[in-house]
Amino acid sequence: MACVERLAGEGVHVLVEKPLAASGDEAREIIAAVERAGVRGAVGHVERYNPALLAARAKLDQLGDLLLIATERTGPFPDRIKDVGVVKDLATHDLDLVRWLGDAPVEVVAAQTSHRMGREHEDLVLATGRLASDVPFHCAVDWLTPTKTRRTRILGARGMLLADTLTGDLTLHENADVAIEWAATQQLRGVSEGNATRFALQRREPLLVEHEAFYAYVAGDDDAPVVPLEAGLEAVTTAEAVLASARDGETVRLAPR
């Protein structure tokens, strides 16, 4: 935090790696320092630049009303992480994504965590909640799985978008309007399976796209698609709510934004 404040005070524009800060209070201090200095700032939530998620967000109208946003982010523990648990290191990606994809802040959240590796910090979190738009979400994140998974599922009234952010693949699974004559199976199916379309996407390195957006922003493009510092603050405060819920065993309602 002190480094960011010093650089901003010297007139340097800042792109801060996520999470924006260790706490909501520190994130607010960074935002205030950037505003005082009159420089430009953004936060590096690089998953927003993944080609599969960019395409998914652009195609949300094909789903109709949103019913659920669910993310899965699992894999082995990275030894380089010493000071935080899986919530602030990894789940901040997902808490930001559900807010970005759902276009509404998190309103309530309930979470469970586990400490299986003998560390001070948690290595697994299951977080379930609701956005202010009444869309439910679920995030499953851990450092205990031997295989790496990065998947986002967006369910709507007309189908589902499934994004694999490791490969940059996006598939649309449509609901079908097909009459089912076999009564026994009709009773078991809430919707019928329609066409599946795997989109051909231009796959560009997300970190490069993120940096290009920041360069454009620094050059004066106010519409450059950077992630604003306020979004970084929101991800941090939502992560704090997740940890508080897991600690106290209660659902947490976040302050209106």
Domains and CATH numbers, the chain: 2-253 (3.30.360.10)
Q: Which residues contact 49 (CB under 8 A, 6 or more apart)?
A: 206, 207, 209, 210, 213
Could you identify the residue written with the tokens 């957006």?
213
% pLDDT > 70, the chain: 95
The pLDDT tens digits for 205-218 are: 999 999 999 999 99
* Measured distance CA(228)–CA(97) in Å, rounded: 14
pLDDT of residue 224: 97
Handedness of CA 76, 80, 86, 92 (dihedral sign): negative
Q: Per-residue pLDDT averaged across 44-65, rounded?
A: 97
* 179: pLDDT strictly greater than 90: no
Handedness of CA 86, 88, 92, 93 (dihedral sign): negative
* Measured distance CA(78)–CA(82) in Å, rounded: 9
Say what angle helices 229-248 and 24-37 make with each other, to 10 degrees.
Answer: 170
At residue 181 the predicted structure's pLDDT band, cuts being 50, 70 and 90, is: low
Q: Which two tokens stand for residue 97?
A: 């994504």
Could you identify the residue written with the tokens 């940059």?
168
* Measured distance CA(62)–CA(162) in Å, rounded: 13
pLDDT of residue 98: 98
Could you identify the residue written with the tokens 């076999």?
182
Question: Per residue, what are the HEC states of 23-34?
Answer: CHHHHHHHHHHH
Strand partners, 131: 106
Strand partners, 64: none
Please report which residue ranges of 158-205 form alpha helices under DSSP H: 183-186
pLDDT of residue 197: 95
Model pTM score = 0.91
At residue 186 the predicted structure's pLDDT band, cuts being 50, 70 and 90, is: low
Q: Are 197 and 9 in contact (CB under 8 A)?
A: no
pLDDT of residue 183: 61
